[in-house]
Amino acid sequence: MVIKKLTQLRQQTPDKQGFCKSLADFIAPKESGIPDWIGGFAVTSGIGVDELAKVYEAELDDYSAIMLKALADRLAEAFAECLHQRVRKEFWGYVSDEQLDNNALIKEAYQGIRPAPGYPACPDHTEKEGLFELLNATEHTSLILTESFAMYPTAAVSGWYFAHPDSKYFNLGKITRDQVESAAKHKGMAADTLERWLLPALSYDPDQA
């Protein structure tokens, strides 16, 4: 069994209900004794897309190249959404009787979320490394992570599944220095290295004491 430690950051400004949320809140604490799970996924519809786009570009057909890449991106998102639905209704089956029309799906009216590293609730792209190792994603999908933690092929989506009935998407907001230092310690990473990856989300200038 592969055991990976996930490190999630927490809001530093309370929401309207007075809470500072973290994705970690949607998993039962170990001391509660409640069995709980988190899922992971990585999907792509981009295999072969870049090569075909280059053929179009060589023929000066930029429109077809652009449309091909846009279609691949949309299909990847649709694939991720379809897989999440199967998790809810079939694999985990916690809402096996779910009946939602397209409008309800677009409004994310279902129970559970599939947040991704690099998005508002988890701006830390480095978390993809553990996710990919946990899933053995490259072997199963041909997806690879670049040195900047981008996925290739680029028409790809990866993230986690949370089934908690209160789980919702949220924006983490700006991150304070003490939280970066704490997260870096948990990740076994130098604080200045993590600061570099989180730079757009920092509430402070890392070059100033």
- CATH number of 104's domain: 3.10.196.10
Strand pairing report for 156-161 and 39-44: antiparallel
Smallest CA-to-CA distance from 42 within 184, 160, 181, 171 is with 160
Residue 64 domain flag: no
Q: Does residue 182 lie in a domain region?
A: yes
The whole-model pTM stands at: 0.89
Same domain, 84 and 156: yes
Give pLDDT, residue 3: 63
- pLDDT at res. 14: 87
In a domain, 205, yes or no: yes
The per-residue pLDDT for range 88-107, each reduced to its tens digit, is 999 999 999 999 999 999 89
Separation between Cα atoms, residue 131 and residue 128, nearest integer Å: 5
Residues 43 and 133 in one domain: yes
Number of domains in the chain: 2
Residue for token pair 């986690």? 160
The tokens describing 168, both together, are: 């919702």
Residue 12 pLDDT grade (very low, low, confident, very high; cuts 50, 70, 90): confident
Residue 19 lies in a domain: no
Q: Is residue 190 part of a domain?
A: yes
Residues 114 and 43 in one domain: yes
Q: 43 and 146 in one domain? A: yes
- Looking at residues 32-47, what average pLDDT do you find? 94
Share of the chain above pLDDT 90, in %: 89
Task: Identify the CA nearest to 188 among candidates 112, 126, 117, 100.
Answer: 126
Q: How far apart are CA 118 and CA 134, in angstroms?
A: 18
| Domain of residue 188, residue span | 173-209
Say if 136 falls within a structural domain: yes
* 43 and 128 fall within a common domain: yes
Cβ atoms of residues 185 and 177 within 8 Å: no
- 57-63 mean pLDDT: 97
Cis ω for the linkage preceding 29 (within 30 of 0): no
